[in-house]
Amino acid sequence: MSVGKEIAVPQQHSTAWVVQAWAAFLVSVIAMTVGVINLPASGTNSWVKGYLGMGLLFTVSSTFTLGKTVRDIHESKKLTSKVEEARVERLLAEHHPLK
Protein backbone atom coordinates (compact mmCIF):
# COMPACT_ATOMS: atom_id res chain seq x y z
CA MET A 1 0.00 0.00 0.00
CA SER A 2 1.51 3.25 -1.12
CA VAL A 3 0.59 6.59 0.38
CA GLY A 4 1.15 9.50 -2.02
CA LYS A 5 2.13 12.87 -0.67
CA GLU A 6 0.37 15.92 -1.94
CA ILE A 7 2.19 19.19 -1.75
CA ALA A 8 -0.06 22.08 -0.82
CA VAL A 9 0.80 25.14 -2.84
CA PRO A 10 -0.67 28.36 -1.48
CA GLN A 11 -2.84 30.07 -4.05
CA GLN A 12 -1.54 33.50 -4.97
CA HIS A 13 -3.72 36.15 -6.56
CA SER A 14 -2.37 38.02 -9.54
CA THR A 15 -1.73 41.74 -9.24
CA ALA A 16 -4.41 42.39 -11.86
CA TRP A 17 -7.01 40.53 -9.79
CA VAL A 18 -6.16 42.44 -6.61
CA VAL A 19 -6.27 45.80 -8.43
CA GLN A 20 -9.61 44.88 -10.04
CA ALA A 21 -11.12 43.82 -6.72
CA TRP A 22 -10.05 47.02 -4.94
CA ALA A 23 -11.12 49.19 -7.89
CA ALA A 24 -14.58 47.60 -7.97
CA PHE A 25 -14.93 48.09 -4.22
CA LEU A 26 -13.85 51.73 -4.33
CA VAL A 27 -16.05 52.57 -7.33
CA SER A 28 -19.11 51.03 -5.67
CA VAL A 29 -18.53 52.83 -2.35
CA ILE A 30 -17.86 56.17 -4.06
CA ALA A 31 -20.91 55.81 -6.31
CA MET A 32 -23.14 54.99 -3.35
CA THR A 33 -21.73 57.90 -1.34
CA VAL A 34 -22.32 60.34 -4.21
CA GLY A 35 -25.84 58.98 -4.59
CA VAL A 36 -26.61 59.47 -0.90
CA ILE A 37 -25.18 62.99 -0.89
CA ASN A 38 -27.19 64.00 -3.97
CA LEU A 39 -30.53 62.73 -2.67
CA PRO A 40 -33.24 65.38 -2.91
CA ALA A 41 -33.86 65.31 0.84
CA SER A 42 -33.88 68.64 2.59
CA GLY A 43 -35.34 70.16 5.71
CA THR A 44 -37.19 67.65 7.84
CA ASN A 45 -36.32 64.79 5.47
CA SER A 46 -32.55 65.21 5.80
CA TRP A 47 -32.49 62.28 8.25
CA VAL A 48 -32.86 60.01 5.19
CA LYS A 49 -29.33 60.89 4.05
CA GLY A 50 -27.95 60.13 7.51
CA TYR A 51 -29.84 56.84 7.65
CA LEU A 52 -28.59 55.72 4.23
CA GLY A 53 -25.04 56.92 5.01
CA MET A 54 -24.97 54.90 8.23
CA GLY A 55 -26.36 51.92 6.31
CA LEU A 56 -23.52 52.26 3.80
CA LEU A 57 -20.89 52.37 6.56
CA PHE A 58 -22.43 49.36 8.29
CA THR A 59 -22.54 47.40 5.02
CA VAL A 60 -18.87 48.12 4.27
CA SER A 61 -17.68 47.20 7.77
CA SER A 62 -19.77 44.01 7.90
CA THR A 63 -18.45 43.00 4.46
CA PHE A 64 -14.87 43.20 5.71
CA THR A 65 -15.80 41.31 8.89
CA LEU A 66 -17.55 38.55 6.94
CA GLY A 67 -14.64 38.23 4.52
CA LYS A 68 -12.15 37.93 7.39
CA THR A 69 -14.35 35.39 9.19
CA VAL A 70 -14.70 33.19 6.09
CA ARG A 71 -10.93 33.34 5.53
CA ASP A 72 -10.19 32.46 9.16
CA ILE A 73 -12.55 29.46 9.07
CA HIS A 74 -10.95 28.24 5.84
CA GLU A 75 -7.44 28.58 7.27
CA SER A 76 -8.39 26.77 10.50
CA LYS A 77 -9.76 23.84 8.48
CA LYS A 78 -6.51 23.68 6.53
CA LEU A 79 -4.54 23.60 9.80
CA THR A 80 -6.76 20.87 11.26
CA SER A 81 -6.31 18.86 8.07
CA LYS A 82 -2.52 19.20 8.28
CA VAL A 83 -2.52 18.03 11.92
CA GLU A 84 -4.64 15.00 11.02
CA GLU A 85 -2.38 14.22 8.05
CA ALA A 86 0.74 14.40 10.26
CA ARG A 87 -0.90 12.09 12.81
CA VAL A 88 -1.73 9.50 10.12
CA GLU A 89 1.78 9.70 8.67
CA ARG A 90 3.30 9.11 12.12
CA LEU A 91 1.05 6.09 12.69
CA LEU A 92 1.97 4.66 9.29
CA ALA A 93 5.68 5.26 9.92
CA GLU A 94 5.51 3.49 13.29
CA HIS A 95 3.60 0.52 11.92
CA HIS A 96 5.85 -1.97 10.13
CA PRO A 97 3.87 -5.08 9.15
CA LEU A 98 7.04 -7.13 8.61
CA LYS A 99 8.47 -6.61 12.07
Distance, CA of 46 to chain centre: 35
Q: Which residues lie below 8 Å from residue 81, measured CB to CB, with a gap of 6+?
A: none
Q: pLDDT by residue for the chain (99 residues), tens digit each?
A: 445 555 555 667 788 988 898 899 999 999 999 998 888 877 777 888 888 889 999 999 999 998 888 888 888 777 777 777 878 788 777 776 766
Query: What is the pTM for the complete model shown?
Result: 0.57
Q: What is the predicted pLDDT for the residue at 8?
A: 57
